[in-house]
Structure 1
Amino acid sequence: MKAAGVAKTALIIIDVQNGFLHPTHWGTSRSTPGCEENIALLLSAAREHNKKQGGGPSVVAICHVHHHSIYPDSLLHPGAQIEIDGQAVDAVQPLPFARPEPDEKIFIKNVNSSFIGTELEAYLRSQGVGQLIIAGLTTDHCVSTTTRMASNLRVVSTTGPDGGLDEGDIVLAGDACATFAKGGFDAETVHGVNLASLDGEFAQVEQTQDVLRVVFGYSHL
């Protein structure tokens, strides 16, 4: 994990959408109560960093990935609605704190991987990204699949002057993603086992506070 000014960095926010607020549709319970707060902290830090940079190669590429299911009965199907605070809202829309700003990229997918059927891979390569920070929903589905494919595709790898391969950094903010109970396992177990499977093989699993400190220089944490 490197400072954003040292390695060209992209922040990928996956499926932070209204549909995941349904209390029972996805499972009987959910992990990581502080997930949304931590995603908001990462997004705010990236935006603050970019404002300070005022453009140039050190700007963090902020990428929002949204799921639009092809299945009509999915809560992430375009046109699906969910009731929040007594009001019906579009389930595919991002949560208010994760709404993209005009200069931030949006990628729409209909499968688990953020790289299938989207221009995300081409965009990251065109930007010369050497480090990914990944957060979002859900740990064992779209977050895991995207992280694994980012590693397998070597989207942050570069070839050095000696011909060697610099693998770059893929950082998964473990407390900025979440999942649901399933298969008789509680949500925190599902979440933890999936992070353990990714850590050291496909990504570095880190805590949000460490990402803020190392990548964005939050010395006051």
Structure 2
Amino acid sequence: MTQTALLVIDAQNIYAAADSPLCVPGIGASLANINALIRAFGAAGRPVVYIRHVHRADGRDAGRMFDFGGVAEPVSFVEGSVEAEYIPGLLQVPGGLHVIKRRYSSFEGTELEAILRSLGADGVVICGYMTNFCCDSTARAAHDRDYFVDFIADATGAPDLSENFLQKNIIEAVSTTLNAGFARVKSTSDYLAEMG
């Protein structure tokens, strides 16, 4: 019998706050889709794993996260800060599992794989933020670990990268690449219809 777990990645305030440099345009739509997936998984008794990106304030656990180009930037996602907490509108299901990560991939340095193995999961469904960083990295890492991966494109989001490369372009680019060899890319409505 197969088991699929929903990975809710980084549904955190830093992406919802209007004054945040990482604010996701129109986040209400993607959050509604995330909540629809959570609700369906909860109702079906399937596992929901909530994942948050968190760092110590002094940055000792950040590695190259904030100096990837050789110039240090301020550490964000600081533990205990409002920006690192879940978005208030995020649906929480009883029995939901929680994982803290410190890198883009939800597998890197976390207990996620041990949790999935203990659940007997051979598949993951990915939603959350940001499409092109943590969701993409986690989808690729899951594929490399031989999980079946469903990437729910309209249940992800990202800040615009420039006035010529908007969130819709980011989602399309990531989805096209993942669909070519890493994951099945679906819409929330299509995935929920398949769940029955």
Band of TM-score, shorter chain: 0.7 to 0.9
Checking the alignment, whether the CA contact within 8 Å between 2:151 and 2:183 is kept in structure 1 is yes
Checking the alignment, whether the CA contact within 8 Å between 2:14 and 2:22 is kept in structure 1 is no
Matches within 5 A, 1:26-45: 26=21, 30=25, 34-45=29-40
Counterpart of 1:67?
53
Q: Choose the corresponding residue for 2:186, options 189, 206, 209.
A: 206
3-state DSSP class of the match of 1:98? coil
Counterpart of 1:176?
155
Q: Residues of 1 paired with 2:12 and 2:75: CA distance?
A: 13
3-state DSSP class of the match of 2:89? helix
Counterpart of 1:133?
125
Equivalences, count: 180
The one-letter code matched in structure 2 to 1:63 is: V
Unpaired runs of at least 5, structure 2: 59-73
3-state DSSP class of the match of 2:125? strand
Counterpart of 1:159?
none
Whether 2:172 is the aligned partner of 1:192: answer: yes
Whether 2:83 is the aligned partner of 1:79: answer: no
Q: Which runs of 4 or more aligned residues in structure 1 lie more than 4 Å from their structure 2 counterparts after TM superposition?
A: none
Output one character per residue of 1:18-54: Cα deviation in whole Å (capped at 9) or x when no partner: 111133533586367510110010001111112xxxx
Counterpart of 1:160?
none
Q: CA deviation at 1:69?
A: 2.8
Output one character per residue of 1:55-107: Cα deviation in whole Å (capped at 9) or x when no partner: xxxxx111000010346644421133xxxxxxxxx221112333544411100
Q: Which has the larger radius of gyration?
A: 1
Q: Choose the corresponding residue for 1:9, options 4, 11, 27.
A: 4
Q: CA deviation at 1:180?
A: 1.2
Q: Residues of 2 paired with 1:148 and 1:203: CA distance?
A: 8
Counterpart of 1:114?
106
Counterpart of 1:22?
17
Checking the alignment, whether the CA contact within 8 Å between 1:27 and 1:182 is kept in structure 2 is no
- Change in Cα spacing, 1:27 to 1:108, as seen in structure 2 (3 Å) is closer
Counterpart of 2:65?
none
Provide the TM-score with structure 1 as the length reference. Answer: 0.74
180-189 or 27-36: bigger deviation:
27-36
3-state DSSP class of the match of 2:50? strand
3-state DSSP class of the match of 1:192? helix
- Change in Cα spacing, 1:32 to 1:101, as seen in structure 2 (3 Å) is closer
Q: Residues of 2 paired with 1:29 and 1:137: CA distance?
A: 9
Q: Residues of 2 paired with 1:27 and 1:108: CA distance?
A: 19
Structure 1 vs Structure 2 CA RMSD:
2.1
